[in-house]
Amino acid sequence: MAYRYKIPLMPTGSVNRVRRISTELMATYKGKFGTDFKQNKTILDEVAVVRSKGLKNEIAGYITAHLRRELEEQKEKESLAPESQSVEETEAMEEQLVS
C-alpha cells in the first residue's frame, strides 16, 4: 500500500498572498470597492490583472468580507454611542430632579 501525501486545502502562503494583494488594492482604490462580491470582481478586472480565476475570486471575497466586517463594526459603534448618551442624559435628569 502506497502512502499518498494529501495537499492541504488552503496553504498558509496563499492566504498571506491574498491578504497582501487585497490590502494593497483596498489602500489604493478604497472608494471603488463595496460589499457586493460580483461588483468587486468586475472592479478587480478593471483595476488589476489577475489571470487566475480562483485567485481573483479569493481576492474579491477577501475584500468583500473585510468591508462587510468594517461596516458591521461601524454600525455597532454607532448603536452603542446613542445608548451611552441616553444613560448620561438620564443621569443628568435624575440629578436635576433630586436637587
Domain count, the chain: 1
Q: What is the CATH number of the domain that holds 25?
A: 1.10.60.20
For 80, half-sphere exposure in the C-beta direction (CA atoms, 13 angstrom radius) is: 6
Q: What's the pLDDT at 30? A: 81
Q: What's the pLDDT at 42? A: 95
Nearest to 44 by CA among 90, 85, 57, 76: 57
Average pLDDT, stretch 20-26? Answer: 93
Residue 4 lies in a domain: no
Residue 92 lies in a domain: no
Q: How far is CA 11 from the centre of its chain?
A: 21
Q: Using one digit for the tens of pLDDT, what is the confidence trace for 36-92? A: 999 999 999 999 999 999 999 999 999 999 999 999 999 888 887 655 556 666 666
Residue 83 lies in a domain: no
Q: What's the pLDDT at 80? A: 77
Residue 88 lies in a domain: no
* Whether residue 33 has pLDDT greater than 70: yes
Question: Which domain, by its residues, includes 41?
Answer: 15-74
CB 60 within 8 A of CB 37: yes
Nearest to 40 by CA among 14, 22, 16: 22
Q: Using one digit for the tens of pLDDT, what is the confidence trace for 3-21? A: 566 565 556 666 789 999 9
